[in-house]
Amino acid sequence: MEIFVNKAYDKKYEEGFPLLIKEWLADFPMKEGEIFHLMSSKGRFLGKGYLGRQNKGLGWVLSRKESEPLDETFFMNRLAAAMNKRKRFFYDDATTAFRLLNGEGDGLGGLTIDRYGDYYLFNWYSEGIWRFREMILEAFKKIVLFEGIYEKRRFEGDFMEEPTLGRAHPKPLTVLENGVKIAVDLGEGLMTGVFLDQREVRRRVMEQYADEARVLNTFSYTGLFSLFALLGGASHTVSVDLANRSYPRTLEQFSLNGIDASREEILVEDVFNYFRRAVKAGEVFDLILLDPPSYAKSKDVTFKVQKDYPRLIRESLKLLSPSGVILASTNQSSYPRESFQRMIEKTFQEEGCRADLLEAFELPEDFRRVPGLMESDYLKVFFVTRSR
Ligand code: SAH
């Protein structure tokens, strides 16, 4: 099938933009998994790829060579190139979990592959890319040694509890990140227990911000920021998350690393509820971690980043020691970095102080990005302190 670009976007696609965006194209029938040739408004070949509806768009350009077939060899080449770019990780014994292939950042939009020790996790983001599954798995088997493969069909929101190839991992599966042990489960739910994209930030918390600090970790999930803070010398941690699972899973991460959990607080509670109690009780923290989901709905609270972030910062400032640090993070791709930073500065100002930006983090190098594609550049992290 041929798909024609609207004239105004010829240049964009000529420059290698890989995502099919409805408004930028002439009409075409949406057929999941179908291979297309992308043509300029004047009918010149620009690239070929597959149709697949996902959150980002309607399909991906995979190759700009007209004669290159999208077959097993093609996928093998893409995989090999991705592995080559992560040699550093394969040789690093202290970090055994990382992203091996990051969708469009590795020329294969719609699929991510994460390595967790000897096990791999495939995330399929559209029905369209799922149609190439057999070919891609065959290619993978030929060049990667593994014990087991787990898969999640993100487009349906479902996952396989058992591995689809090889054998099941021990429960829990323990991986290493900068020498720290992390328990993961690749078959339980859509999340594994760790967000690999925050690796550099966890390390920084441990090495730079935790020593002797009283730490509040909100939206704590499996408590990893608390764990890294404790290993970095934190004097006390409070971890707050609404989900029941976060209690046992945080205990598990602590005990795996020899930390006495009885001295730490792990609370299953809405963060705003906790803020209210803590302000009343006069609690003080030297490091407050804010890493909420983009959107969360529970029984009686809906959390939306753009609406609720200022409130998170305001509440945090009430609990922050004079030289304390706030880590403000968001993974919402539609929230531009500059706007997020401005929101932080503005909220500090409204509370009568100035935000001093200490440092900022983006996605780590294994989460390769396509320049100019905002959707693949979602992570924004700022360490901020206040001055008068
Ligand atoms: N910061 C974590 C990841 C957070 S994932 C890490 O680095 O590992 C988002 C978490 O926010 C989920 O565990 C979810 O249960 C929790 N959550 C969502 N809304 C919440 C709320 N209102 N109060 C507390 N936790 C909430």
Give the distance (Å) from ligand 1 centre to CA of residue 308: 14
Give the distance (Å) from ligand 1 centre to CA of residue 220: 6
Cβ–Cβ < 8 Å for 351, 345: no
Give 305-324 pLDDT, tens digit per residue: 888 999 999 999 999 999 99
Pocket of ligand 1 contains residue 90 by CB under 6 Å: no
Pocket of ligand 1 contains residue 242 by CB under 6 Å: yes
Say whether pLDDT at 264 is over 80.
Answer: yes
SS3 252: helix
Model pLDDT, residue 375: 86
Cα 234-236-238 angle, rounded to 5 deg: 115
- pTM of the predicted model, to two decimals? 0.96
Say whether pLDDT at 56 is over 90.
Answer: no
pLDDT band at 331 (very low <50, low <70, confident <90, very high): very high
Q: Tokens 């001093």 correspond to what residue?
A: 356
Q: Give the Cα separation of 239 and 225 in Å (integer).
A: 9
Q: Give the Cα separation of 366 and 113 in Å (integer).
A: 11
Cα 234-236-237 angle, rounded to 5 deg: 95
Say whether pLDDT at 388 is over 90.
Answer: no
Q: What is the DSSP string of 107-146?
A: T-TTEEEEEETTEEEEEE--HHHHTTHHHHHHHHHHH---
Say whether pLDDT at 263 is over 90.
Answer: yes
H or E, element range at 29? none
Give 59-80 pLDDT, tens digit per residue: 999 999 999 999 999 999 999 9
Sign of the alpha-carbon torsion through 117, 118, 119, 123: positive
Sequence-distant (≥ 6) Cβ neighbours of residue 67 within 8 angstroms: none
Lowest-confidence segment of 187-191, 224-228, 265-269 by average pLDDT = 187-191
Residue 288: closest CA among 357, 219, 194: 219
Cβ–Cβ < 8 Å for 226, 182: no
Pocket of ligand 1 contains residue 219 by CB under 6 Å: yes
Question: Number of H helices and number of E strands within the chain?
Answer: 11, 21
Q: State yes or no: cis peptide before 69, omega within 30 of 0.
A: no
pLDDT band at 301 (very low <50, low <70, confident <90, very high): confident
Pocket of ligand 1 contains residue 198 by CB under 6 Å: yes
Domains delineated in the chain: 2-63 (2.30.130.10), 72-184 (3.30.750.80), 196-387 (3.40.50.150)
User: Can you tell me the mean pLDDT for 149-175?
Assistant: 94
Pocket of ligand 1 contains residue 102 by CB under 6 Å: no
Give 125-143 pLDDT, tens digit per residue: 999 999 999 999 999 999 9
Q: Give the Cα separation of 73 and 5 in Å (integer).
A: 28
* Amino acid identity at 167: R
Model pLDDT, residue 117: 98
Model pLDDT, residue 205: 98
Atom 19 (ligand 1): residue with closest C-alpha? 296
Sequence-distant (≥ 6) Cβ neighbours of residue 151 within 8 angstroms: 121, 122, 123, 124, 159, 160, 164
Q: How many residues does the chain have?
A: 388
Say whether pLDDT at 29 is over 90.
Answer: yes
Give the distance (Å) from ligand 1 centre to CA of residue 160: 23
Give the distance (Å) from ligand 1 centre to CA of residue 285: 19
pLDDT band at 298 (very low <50, low <70, confident <90, very high): confident
- Residues of the chain with pLDDT > 90, as a percent, come to 92
Sequence-distant (≥ 6) Cβ neighbours of residue 299 within 8 angstroms: none
* CA 202 to ligand 1: nearest atom: 7
In the numeric block, which tokens belong to residue 301? 């609270």
H or E, element range at 89? helix 87-90
